[in-house]
Amino acid sequence: MKWMMFLLASVIAAPLWAGDIDSDLAGIQARWAEIQYQLPEDKKEKAFEDLAGQAQGFVDAYPDRAEPLIWQGIVLSTYAGAKGGLGALGLVKDARKSLEKALEIDPAALEGSAYTSLGSLYYQVPGWPLGFGDDDKARQYLLRALELNPDGIDPNYFYADFLIEQDQPERAREYLNKALNAPERPNRPLADSGRRQEIRSKLESL
């Protein structure tokens, strides 16, 4: 009986994919934004862990599409940030694999978001021997993202953040201002609002 109850609970907890990739993508994006920008810090790790399971289901439902892999990479990388420590290294390696596979399928998917996410991983993850961090690769991926989406909020924000890490605050300010004035994304108001707050905080710190 306990085993049957566990199975039933698992079925109820599992996401019901709509069979429409745009609707399913919107659900993952909305939940990510809620966790990232509305949950208290001590709740984020568990919430991202749960969302990572949903992201795997999203990938399984659309195995030939790049978009689920991109968002699996994004979820795993932010889960790693919430988790922290050495335990996060396995997550960022898995995130990199998902993003690289997305590039193999469709490099231009979601306006080149795989390049943005890979670039952010390469400058934020420690270098050898702990991790795979590499500033040259970070720059390469981030610039490619900007080629594909020059006015986007995320590629401009992450390239600016990379420039801050490279001790180039004036160049970073240019890209932060461009990110702040980026067009709003349909159906992503919470993500845009949260990102703009991050942008303002970085501009104030420069």
Which CATH number covers residue 166? 1.25.40.920
Residue 7 lies in a domain: no
Residue 5 lies in a domain: no
Residue 98 lies in a domain: yes
Going residue by residue through the chain, which has 206 residues, state the pLDDT in tens, using 9 for 90 and above: 433 333 333 333 345 555 799 999 999 999 999 999 999 999 999 999 999 999 999 999 999 999 999 999 999 999 999 998 888 999 999 999 999 999 999 999 999 999 999 999 999 998 888 889 999 999 999 999 999 999 999 999 999 999 999 999 999 999 999 999 999 998 899 999 999 999 999 999 99
Residue 99 lies in a domain: yes
40 dihedral zone (left: phi>0; alpha: psi -120 to 50; beta): beta
What's the chain's length in residues?
206
Residue 184 DSSP symbol: P
Q: How many domains does the chain have?
A: 1
Domain span at residue 124?
Answer: 19-205
Residue 6 lies in a domain: no
Give me the helices (H) in the chain, please: 2-13, 21-38, 41-61, 66-83, 87-105, 113-124, 135-148, 153-165, 169-180, 189-205
